[in-house]
Amino acid sequence: MTIEQLLIQAAKRLNSAGSSTSRLDAEVLLGHVLKRDRTWLYTWSDREVENAELARFETLLKARASGEPIAYLIGEREFWGLRLQTHAASLIPRPDTECLVEAALAKARNKRGRALDLGTGSGAIALAFASERPGWQVIGVDRVSQALELAQANAARLGILNVEFIESDWFAALFDQRFELILANPPYLAPDDPHLEQGDVRFEPRSALVAAENGLADLRHLVITAGAHLEPQGWLLLEHGWTQGEAVGEALRDAGYQEVTTLVDLAGQPRVSLGQWVS
| pLDDT value of residue 196 | 95
pLDDT digits (tens, 9 = 90+) for 127-153: 999 999 999 999 999 999 999 999 999
Question: CA torsion sign, 239 to 244 to 247 to 250?
Answer: positive
| pLDDT value of residue 40 | 97
| pLDDT value of residue 273 | 98
For 72, what's the count of Cα atoms within 13 Å in the CB-facing half-sphere? 20
pLDDT digits (tens, 9 = 90+) for 202-242: 999 999 999 999 999 999 999 999 999 999 999 999 999 99
Confidence band of 279 (pLDDT split at 50, 70, 90)? confident
Asked if 140 contacts 128 with a C-beta cutoff of 8 angstroms, the reply is no
- The yes-or-no verdict on residue 54 having pLDDT over 90 is yes
Give the whole-number percent of the chain exceeding pLDDT 90.
97
Confidence band of 10 (pLDDT split at 50, 70, 90)? very high
pLDDT digits (tens, 9 = 90+) for 19-32: 899 999 999 999 99
- The yes-or-no verdict on residue 72 having pLDDT over 80 is yes
Domains and CATH numbers, the chain: 3-67 (1.10.8.10), 88-276 (3.40.50.150)
Nearest Cα neighbor of 33 from 17, 18, 12, 47 is 47
| pLDDT value of residue 132 | 98
Which stretches of 8-127 are assigned E, i.e. beta strand? 76-79, 82-85, 113-118
| pLDDT value of residue 133 | 98
User: 176 phi and psi, to 5 degrees?
Assistant: -100, 20
Across 235-250, b (16+ Cβ under 10 Å) vs e yields: bbbbbbbeebbebbbe
